[in-house]
């Protein structure tokens, strides 16, 4: 007999899966799911300020590679977008994809692409020794993490990110936007 899982258990399960995903890929700075528009956003941090030409080139390269991979699978992406937030010393590159066609192979491709493009300038955590040396088990763990992110039953936005050698995950509750009351 199967019993339905409680929402609290589902949330804890989802958090554990996202943590495992971020631990498996130390090159990822953050992962966000947005159920409202069925997208995932993966962010990478580069230890230098990229100018507009460089950010445009990164966007084109990512888009070209993602579209080629999906073309090999006989699919067309609904959404491929690359945006950048620049700081004085760091650039955050955000890759937003439709969750439905996003797969582990694409994540592997994106990580390899960023490592190849930025080398030592790509911010990454120290890799954690794998608990299981079985590559198939690690790939399945990634698949389960991605499934948790693209779960259509998920109603809350989820954000997982790295901060000071830790992985943090939280849910963003949707709120009505209201005007702030004037204070006297």
Q: Where are the domains of the chain?
A: 7-168
User: 7 and 22 in contact (C-beta within 8 Å)?
Assistant: no
Q: Assess whether pLDDT exceeds 60 at residue 130.
A: no
- 94 strand-pairing partners: 43, 83
- Which helix H or strand E contains 45, and what residues bound it? strand 39-46
The mean pLDDT value for 35-55 works out to 92
Q: What pTM was estimated for this model as a whole?
A: 0.78
Q: Assess whether pLDDT exceeds 70 at residue 8.
A: no
Token duo for residue 110: 């994106």
Place of tokens 């997982």: 160
Q: Assess whether pLDDT exceeds 60 at residue 181.
A: no
Token duo for residue 69: 């991979």
CA distance 33 to 148: 9
The mean pLDDT value for 86-96 works out to 94
């Amino acid at each position: 007999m199967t019993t339905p899982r409680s929402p609290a258990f589902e949330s804890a399960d989802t958090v554990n899966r996202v943590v495992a995903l971020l631990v498996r890929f130390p090159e990822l700075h953050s992962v966000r799911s947005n159920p409202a528009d069925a997208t995932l956003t993966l962010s990478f941090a580069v230890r230098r300020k990229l100018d507009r030409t460089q950010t445009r080139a990164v966007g084109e390269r990512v888009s070209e590679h993602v579209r080629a991979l999906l073309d090999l699978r006989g699919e067309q992406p609904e959404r491929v977008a690359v945006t950048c937030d620049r700081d004085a010393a760091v650039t955050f590159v955000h890759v937003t994809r439709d969750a439905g066609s996003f797969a582990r192979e694409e994540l592997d491709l994106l990580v390899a692409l960023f490592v190849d493009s930025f080398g030592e300038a790509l911010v990454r955590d120290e890799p954690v020794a794998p608990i299981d040396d079985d590559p198939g088990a690690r790939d399945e763990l990634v698949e389960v993490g991605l499934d948790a992110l693209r779960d259509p039953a998920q109603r809350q936005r989820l954000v997982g990110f790295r901060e000071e050698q830790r992985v943090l995950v939280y849910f963003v509750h949707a709120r009505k936007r209201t005007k702030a009351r004037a204070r006297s």
